[in-house]
Amino acid sequence: IAAAMAEPSALAPSWPMTAKGRAGFTGHSSQADCVAVGAPQLMLYPHLIDIAVDEKTVVLDLDWMGVRRVVHLDTTVHPADLEPSPQGHSIGRWEGKALVIDTAGFAVHPEGIGFSLPSGVGKHLVERLSLAADGRHLDYEITAEDPEYLTGPIHATASWEYSPDLERSGAACDLESARRDLKEQ
């Protein structure tokens, strides 16, 4: 699957931000420091995503800074002693043929909501993946909340194209390359 990104970065300034969100909206990408962004931004990039499904998990293996997301299908609640992490803890359920993913337990991140907007530990994400009528695309819907940085939920959609001929790059982030086009402030 290759994700096709809309232009949510243009929408970010219009998102319902708290005062802390407006103050934290920097326009700086953490990826210039080789720090991978999390969902939802990560899921909107045009990169390869391998998806493996079994009875207990759905694994999303992304060709972007070695990120792997595991969606647990064998539980309906997040663990009480959850250790925050960049990708959070995901549980999933099937609604017909659509996979609904509920993710919580995110670590604080300098652009965790996405596109230069930080996130706190209260970030919560609900994603929905469903096969499009053409059978070659997955429709991806997102609702993200974070009471520290947003006054209300944000919504976005994208389409992932089935691309079996693509190969993983396996490229690691190179700090010098990541910072090449940065301008001194």
Distance CA 104, CA 120 (A): 11
Residue 64: other Cβ atoms inside 10 A: 18
Distance CA 44, CA 25 (A): 19
Provide the pLDDT for residue 184: 53
Tell me phi and psi for residue 36, to 5 degrees: -65, 140
**What's the count of helices (H) and strands (E) in the chain, helices before strands?**
3, 11
**pLDDT under 50: residue ranges of the chain:** 2-9, 185
The pair phi, psi for residue 55, each rounded to 5°, is -65, -30
What per-residue confidence (pLDDT) applies to 91? 98
CA atoms of 80 and 85, how far apart (whole Å): 14
User: What pLDDT score does 5 carry?
Assistant: 43
b or e along 141-151 (b: 16 or more beta carbons within 10 Å of the residue's beta carbon)? bbebbbebbbe
Q: Look at residue 138 and give its three-state secondary structure.
A: strand
Taking Cα atoms as reference points, which of 91, 148, 75 lies closest to residue 125?
A: 91
pTM for this one?
A: 0.86
Given this model, what pLDDT does residue 7 score? 43
